[in-house]
Amino acid sequence: METAEIYEKLKKTFTEGIGELKTNLPVYPFFFVDADKVNAICCFLRDEESLQFDNLSCLSGVDYDIDNLAVVYHLYSYTLNHQLVIKTTVPKTNPVVRTVSDVWVAAEWHEREAFDLIGVNFEGHPDLRRILLPEDWEGHPLRKDYKVPDFYNGMKVPY
């Protein structure tokens, strides 16, 4: 199925919470969804007969622009061989997104990484703590306005 058809199907089931389908940029079309509806939409995408998105290929956190963070979901279906890209944006002042780790178990570690590097809080995640950086590191490195701290536990950081 093409993205446009999946978009139409989703629009029929979830009347609100789904943004516009953007088709003008390379390479593939995508659309935005609301941060608190993400879990419900993903459940529908996974369980619906004609869609069956059983695999979350990648979940990335992106520092979208000055005020917003984004989370990008790349979904794939092994059984029906189609793919989908959905995004959600949250403001930097309150970056809370509903987790999808109960829909796809793969999301557990990906969401921890997004929390670690970008700073998006996933509400409902079983074990949200830093994964790549040490537990007591301050700051979220992949943000554009990140400044490297001078000292970490008494050791000088930049050298």
The helix/strand/coil state of 44 is: helix
Nearer to another protein, 36 or 83 (CB): 83
Angle (deg, nearest 10), helices 3-13 and 38-47 = 120
Beta strands 55-62; 30-33: pairing state: unpaired
Of the candidate residues 15, 81, 94, 153, the single one contacting another protein (CB under 8 A): 81
Element counts in the chain: helices (H) and strands (E): 3, 9
105: contact with another protein by CB under 8 A = yes
Whats the size of the chain, residue-wise? 159
The helix/strand/coil state of 48 is: coil
80: contact with another protein by CB under 8 A = no
Q: Cα(9)–Cα(6) distance, rounded to whole angstroms?
A: 5
21: contact with another protein by CB under 8 A = no
152: contact with another protein by CB under 8 A = no
Element (H, E) at 61: strand 55-62
Of the candidate residues 66, 134, 150, 151, the single one contacting another protein (CB under 8 A): 134
Contact characters 39-58, another protein, x per CB under 8 A: ---------------xxxxx
131: contact with another protein by CB under 8 A = yes
25: contact with another protein by CB under 8 A = yes
104: contact with another protein by CB under 8 A = yes
159: contact with another protein by CB under 8 A = no
The tokens describing 130, both together, are 């830093």
**To the nearest whole angstrom, how small is the minimum distance from the Cβ of residue 131 to another protein?**
6
Closest CA to 102 of 61, 49, 46: 46
Name the residues that contact another protein, by CB under 8 A. Answer: 25-28, 54-58, 60, 62-63, 72, 74, 76, 78, 81, 85, 104-106, 108-110, 117, 130-134, 141-142
